[in-house]
Amino acid sequence: MKSAERESGRLAALHEYRLFDTPPQEELRAVVRIAAAVAGVPTATLNLIDEHRQVMLTTVGVEGRDCDRDDSMCAVRLGTGLPVNLPDASLDPAYRNNPWVTGERGLIRFYANAPLITPDGHVLGTLCVFDNEPHELSPEQARRLEDLAGVIVAFFERRRQTRVTAEFAAITEARKEWAEALLDGINVAVIALDTAFQVTIYNRAARESHPLDVDISAGPVNLAERFQLYEPDGRTLVPDDELPLMMALSGRGPVIAKEMVMRRPKSGVRVVRANAQALHDADGRIIGAVVALQDITAEATRKRLIEEARSRLAAANAELLRSNADLTNFAAAVSHDLIAPLAAVGGYLELLADEAGLPVEPATQEVDRMQNLIESLLSAATTGGARGSDPR
């Protein structure tokens, strides 16, 4: 990893702990006091190194003073992640010109530190001990100093975890409240159970659609009877193991668009469409199930009315066809009974004209007119019957 990327990750980790936001707690002061005692020196500090400065988070035996990062003794070998142990810093080329050694800021001679390394390997700063006199730090003392640095990082991590947990809980609670408000705002009953048949979701529409005296957590016993759930015929109780929620909970789901009838004391008979789905954990095991019940009573009523109207229309059309057929048959019979006598009358008139020489033309014209009238009526009746037989 490049040094710029490493430093960017280190700074991100440092700010994630939010150590500059609150004053150090007494536990940190106690650890720093123990560090001074372990080293056998009067002064110790807990230093954090950010982008531009060294911050003395807490100190023992010296007043805390922040300084530029370029002036920090702790920052000199920060990138190595290794502890430092200098009996006399004025003799080390990397430190002899530091303002904390030269007298500009201090006259430090003995200087030792243990880096504060996070579980991810980022160095936040150091736990350092120092004195104005040269001093020897034994290997055992150096190891104890590193142990104390680990205790400090563990304290930082514990505080970070506590904060993250609290923030997550707050976010989770906010999301839960938002989800509950959303579920309560819809007119679809939503019910969720875990595998112990304990209710985990029960929104407003569900509370309003189920009788108040029904215990929904009483277990899967006589569910259809307790909740008055019927097949679409409105008379046959749905078998408990065929209820959408139970099917999903037993792994036989998902159940899509199953229609049921619900009988309620106040709201009467309602038709609902149920959709149920099992809930799984990360390993795919069923941990519960959820069902959504949509009231489709109005839709079902519309469908029923449409079907009834279609049935009545089909019956009326059949009756019309029968009536038209009767009319056609009647017209044919009547026309035959009328035309035959007229034909006879016409024949007699012609005979009178031929034999007796009588003027019968006006009478024959009337006969012809009557025949045309009857034929027109027959044609109209036949045409009307044909139109009536068209199912369109």
Q: How confident is the model at residue 379 (pLDDT cuts 50, 70, 90)?
A: confident
Residues in the chain, total: 392
- In the predicted structure, residue 203 carries a pLDDT above the cut 70: yes
Give the residue extent of every domain in the chain.
3-165, 189-295, 312-388
Residue 341 and residue 374 in contact, taking contact as beta carbons nearer than 8 Å: no
Q: Are 3-165 and 189-295 the same fold in CATH?
A: yes
Task: Return the structure tokens found at 144.
Answer: 């104890």
Mean pLDDT of 21-40: 88
Residue 247 and residue 255 in contact, taking contact as beta carbons nearer than 8 Å: yes
The residues pairing with 278 across neighbouring beta strands, listed in sequence order, are 289
Say what the pLDDT of residue 230 is.
92
DSSP string for residues in 115-161: EEE-TTS-EEEEEEEEESS-----HHHHHHHHHHHHHHHHHHHHHHH
Q: Which CATH architecture has domain 189-295?
A: 2-Layer Sandwich (3.30)
Mean pLDDT of 216-226: 75
At 124, phi and psi to the nearest 5?
-85, -30
Q: Is domain 3-165 classified as CATH 3.40.50.1000?
A: no
Residue 109 and residue 90 in contact, taking contact as beta carbons nearer than 8 Å: yes
Q: Sign of torsion, CA 249 250 253 256?
A: negative
Say what the pLDDT of residue 286 is.
94
pTM, 2 dp: 0.54
Lowest average pLDDT, out of 35-49, 112-126, 231-245, goes to 231-245
For residues 361 and 256, give the distance between their C-alpha atoms in angstroms, rounded to a whole number.
85
Rounded to the nearest 5 degrees, what angle is found at the Cα of 326, between the Cα atoms of 322 and 332? 145
Q: Report DSSP state, residue 258.
A: E
Say what the pLDDT of residue 392 is.
43
Strands (E), 228-364: 229-230, 255-264, 268-280, 286-295
Tally of CB atoms within 10 A around 67: 17
Residue 248 and residue 278 in contact, taking contact as beta carbons nearer than 8 Å: yes
Residue 191 and residue 291 in contact, taking contact as beta carbons nearer than 8 Å: yes
The residues pairing with 275 across neighbouring beta strands, listed in sequence order, are 292
- In the predicted structure, residue 328 carries a pLDDT above the cut 90: no
Q: Cα 49 vs. chain centroid, distance in angstroms? A: 43
Rounded to the nearest 5 degrees, what angle is found at the Cα of 289, between the Cα atoms of 286 and 290? 155
Side chain identity, residue 69: R
- In the predicted structure, residue 196 carries a pLDDT above the cut 60: yes
Task: Return the structure tokens found at 269.
Answer: 């008979």
